[in-house]
Amino acid sequence: MRGKIDRAINIADLRRLGKRHLPRVVFDYIEGGAEDEIGLDENTRAFARRKLVPKFFTPCGYLDLTTDLFGKTYAAPFGIAPTGFAGLFRPGGDLLLAEAARAENIPYIMSGTCNAAIEELPEICARNAWYQLYTGRDKAIDEDIVRRAADAGIETLVLTVDSEVRTKRERDIRNGFSGTGLKTLAFLEALLHPAWLAGYLASGGMPRFGNFAAYAAKPEDARAVWAFMTGHLPGNPLWGDLERYRRLWRGNLVVKGILHPDDALRIVDLGADGIIVSNHGGRQLDRAPAAVDMFSAIKAAIGGKAIVMLDSGVRRGSDIVTALCLGADFVFIGRAALYGLAAGGLPGIRKAITILRHETETVGRHIGCGRTSDLGAQHLMRASGDGAR
C-alpha cells in the first residue's frame, strides 16, 4: 500500500485507492451528498468555473505558505475539516487525522460526532486541535462537552449550525447505512475488502462515538452510545444559543456552515471570532449554493471584522489559491483528507496534505505570487469572463 500512496500524484488518485479499500456502503457515506447531489457536484464546478489570471515579471521563485491564524503559525493556509465517523474508515481514524495535522503543522478540527474522545487529543495534537460542536437537545450535555474541550486545552471551538435537520442522503438510505452495524448485504460486500474488514473486526466492529459514551446508559456498548447520540442530535441552535456559547467559551469561537451574508454579519456582531462559509460538502441542503459562490458577499458583509474561512469542494491547490484570491483567511478540506485516510491511514493523509501544499505553491507561483498575501482579486477573471478585475 505504501508504494501506491507514494505513487499517488493527486487527490483523485487517493480517492481511487480509498474507494478500493472500503466496502461500498462506507465509501458512499464519505462520498455522498443530499438528495440528487446537485450541491455536491456544484461545489467542484463552482471552483472550476473560476479562472486564475497570471501576472508576470514578479518575484515568484518560492511561495511561502506559512499562515498566521488565531495567534498560531501554521505551515499551510488550509486545515482538516471536522468529519464524523472517521474510525469506520480506518481504526483510530480521528486520531490519525489529528496526528497527520500535528506532523504537517496544520489545524485539525475534531468532529462533534467523532469516534475518538476529546480526552485522547492532548497527547496527540493539543496545539493544532480545534473542537467542533453540534448543539443537541440537552444543553447541559453540550455544555459539559464544551467544558471537556477546554480542559483538554482546545483553544478554538467551532459551532456547526447547518445540521439542525436530519438530512436525506439517498446513498446511505439505500445502503441501509447506520451506526449500529453492517447489514447482511453490506457485510457480504465487506468480504470483498478483506484489509478493511480485518481492521474493522480487530478493532471491535462498529466504532462507538467516544464523546457521547460518558452520557449513554452503557458506555462500552456502541449501539447504546449510538442510540443516545441519535436521541440527542440534531438540536436546533438559535441566536440565544450563540450568545450563550459566546459567554461560556473564552477561546476563539467559530461558526461553521454559513451561506447567508445576513447570518454572517449577525454572528460577528454577537462576538464570534470567525466563520466558515460552507455547505457541508453538499451533504445537508442539496439546493444550497456552493460556498465559493457566496464567499465574496459574506466577506463584504463582514468587512474585516472577523476571520472568514471556507470549505466545500476543495480537491486541488488551485481551489485553495482561488479561495485565497477571493479573500479567504483560511481553507478547510473534508473529503480530500478522508480519501488519504481511507487510502493509507497516516501516510495517506500526510500524502493528501503534501499534494495540496505542492499544488497550492505551484499554482500561486504560476500566477506570479511569492507570498500568500500577494494572492488577491487581481488574479481572478471577472465573472462575466471579459478580463481580470
What is the smallest separation between the CB atom of 338 and ligand FMN, expressed in angstroms? 6
Question: Which residues in 92-111 contact ligand FMN (CB under 6 A)?
Answer: 111
Question: Which residues in 293-312 contact ligand FMN (CB under 6 A)?
Answer: 311-312
Q: Residue 111: is it exposed, middle or buried by C-beta count within 10 angstroms (0-12/13-18/19+)?
A: buried
Residue 291: C-alpha distances to residues 64, 259, 298, 318, 319 (Å) = 26, 7, 10, 16, 12
Binding segment toward ligand FMN, per CB under 6 A, in 3-11, 172-180, 238-246, 274-282: 274-282
The one-letter amino acid code at 70 reads F
What is the smallest separation between the CB atom of 315 and ligand FMN, expressed in angstroms? 7
Query: Choosing from 21, 193, 280, 379, which is the catalytic residue?
Result: 280
What is the smallest separation between the CB atom of 128 and ligand FMN, expressed in angstroms? 16
Binding segment toward ligand FMN, per CB under 6 A, in 177-185, 329-337, 347-355, 359-367: 329-337
Instruction: Please say if 379 is a catalytic residue.
Output: no
What is the smallest separation between the CB atom of 83 and ligand FMN, expressed in angstroms? 4
180/287 Cα distance (integer angstroms): 30
Nearer to ligand FMN, 312 or 318 (CB): 312
Half-sphere exposure of 323 (CA within 13 A, CB side): 30
281/167 Cα distance (integer angstroms): 13
What is the smallest separation between the CB atom of 283 and ligand FMN, expressed in angstroms? 6
Instruction: Give the residue nearest to ligand FMN (CB).
Output: 334
Nearer to ligand FMN, 8 or 11 (CB): 11
Question: Which residues in 116-175 contact ligand FMN (CB under 6 A)?
Answer: 132, 160
β-strands 67-69, 72-74 pairing: antiparallel
Binding mask 334-363 for ligand FMN (x = CB under 6 A): xxx-x-------------------------
The answer to the question of residue 42 lying near ligand FMN (CB under 6 A) is no
360/50 Cα distance (integer angstroms): 15
Binding mask 200-229 for ligand FMN (x = CB under 6 A): ------------------------------
The answer to the question of residue 278 lying near ligand FMN (CB under 6 A) is yes
What is the smallest separation between the CB atom of 33 and ligand FMN, expressed in angstroms? 9
What is the smallest separation between the CB atom of 306 and ligand FMN, expressed in angstroms? 18
Element (H, E) at 160: strand 156-160
The answer to the question of residue 15 lying near ligand FMN (CB under 6 A) is no
Residue 137: C-alpha distances to residues 134, 164, 217, 229, 283 (Å) = 10, 10, 17, 10, 21
42/169 Cα distance (integer angstroms): 16
Count of residues touching ligand FMN (by CB under 6 A): 26
Collapse the DSSP code of 319 into the 3-class scheme (helix H, G, I; strand E, B; otherwise coil) and give the result: helix
DSSP for 116-157, written as a single string: S-GGGHHHHHTTTEEEEEE--S-HHHHHHHHHHHHHTT--EE
The answer to the question of residue 81 lying near ligand FMN (CB under 6 A) is yes
Residues near 149 by beta carbon (within 8 Å), at least 6 away in sequence: 118, 131, 133, 157
Nearer to ligand FMN, 278 or 322 (CB): 278
Element (H, E) at 45: helix 38-49
Which residues of the chain form contacts with ligand FMN (CB under 6 A)? 29-30, 43, 81-84, 111-113, 132, 160, 256, 278, 280-281, 283, 311-314, 333-336, 338
Which amino acids are annotated catalytic? 280
